[in-house]
């Protein structure tokens, strides 16, 4: 009986997660239809729970020698990195800009070349926030002219660079952008959670039926004795 209760609880937990993801998905659909807003206006507004999917425009200036390669990323079946570089807004605030996906080389001792941004420009794009992995969230930086990191920990980066970063990442949306830009704002869709819920409930029902069958067999045997 204890196992059945656990399976049912897991099913309801997945239902709750599915409902949360549905809310996020609906919010992303709405934001995709909204007009682009100035980043400076967004920064002047009250802090919101999630910035993911908000479309913005901004004039940004690259900060020299502040380049990151986020390790262990995949895109279209390839393994590589997500390249980020530090940018500064006209208001003097700092934000990480996602340059895009870069394939890894055969040797991990050699980092791939990236065409980093070198001049100020006006960008349109969207914002996102990476979800924290509770099992691994430390920066684990390998410093160099281009730093390789295992997790994008903004707090650790702020301490390392002695600056304050805006609490989101900027992904440019330019027609001629040279690098692929993966977009997976919801790591697991609501439908997947509901699918897992059905599996847990199905297992609970199967185990209940098996338990009832075993109980019936036990009663029959005892009655015959």
Strand partners, 124: 57
**Has this prediction a pTM greater than 0.85?**
no
Listed by start position, the domains of the chain span 1-35+186-225, 54-172
pLDDT (mean) for 10-33 = 77
Question: For the segment 73-98, what is each residue's pLDDT rounded down to a tens digit?
Answer: 999 999 999 999 999 999 999 999 99
**Does residue 14 surpass a pLDDT of 70?**
yes
Q: Of 166, 155, 141, 143, nearest to 48 (Cα)? A: 166
Give me the pLDDT at residue 201, please.
Answer: 76
**How many CB atoms sit inside 10 A of residue 198's CB?**
13
Give me the pLDDT at residue 19, please.
Answer: 73
Token representation of residue 116: 């980093």
Strand partners, 67: 85, 146
Q: What gap in Å lies between CA 173 and CA 162, rounded to an integer?
A: 29
Question: For the segment 153-176, what is each residue's pLDDT rounded down to a tens digit?
Answer: 999 999 999 999 999 999 999 888
Task: Tell me what the pLDDT averaged over the chain comes to.
Answer: 87
**Does residue 189 surpass a pLDDT of 70?**
no
Q: What gap in Å lies between CA 138 and CA 87, rounded to an integer?
A: 22
Give the Å distances, CA to CA, from 170 to 77, 106, 113: 24, 29, 21
Question: For the segment 112-154, what is each residue's pLDDT rounded down to a tens digit?
Answer: 999 999 999 999 999 999 877 767 789 999 999 999 999 999 9
Q: What is the length of the chain? A: 225
Asked if 1 and 211 touch (Cβ cutoff 8 Å), the reply is yes
Give me the pLDDT at residue 96, please.
Answer: 98
Q: What gap in Å lies between CA 88 and CA 95, rounded to an integer?
A: 6
Give me the pLDDT at residue 225, please.
Answer: 58
């Amino acid at each position: 009986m204890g196992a059945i209760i656990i399976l049912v609880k897991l099913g309801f937990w997945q239902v709750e997660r599915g409902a949360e993801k549905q809310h996020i998905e609906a919010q992303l659909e709405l934001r995709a239809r909204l007009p682009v807003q100035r980043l400076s206006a967004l920064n002047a507004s009250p802090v919101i729970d999630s910035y993911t999917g908000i479309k913005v425009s901004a004039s940004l200036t690259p900060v020299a020698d502040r380049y990151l390669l986020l390790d262990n990323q995949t895109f279209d079946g390839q393994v590589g990195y997500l390249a980020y570089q530090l940018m500064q807004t006209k208001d003097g605030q700092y934000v990480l800009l996602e340059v895009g996906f870069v394939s890894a080389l055969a040797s991990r001792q050699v980092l791939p070349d990236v065409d980093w941004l070198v001049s100020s420009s006006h960008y349109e794009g969207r914002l996102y926030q990476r979800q924290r992995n509770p099992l691994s969230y430390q920066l684990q930086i390998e410093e160099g002219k281009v730093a390789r990191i295992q997790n994008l920990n903004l707090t650790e980066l702020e301490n390392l660079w002695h600056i304050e970063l805006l609490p989101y990442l900027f992904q440019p949306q330019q027609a001629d952008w040279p690098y692929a830009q993966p977009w997976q704002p919801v790591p697991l869709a609501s439908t997947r959670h509901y699918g897992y819920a059905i599996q847990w409930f199905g297992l609970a029902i199967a185990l209940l039926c098996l338990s009832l069958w075993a109980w019936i067999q036990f009663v029959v045997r005892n009655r015959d004795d």
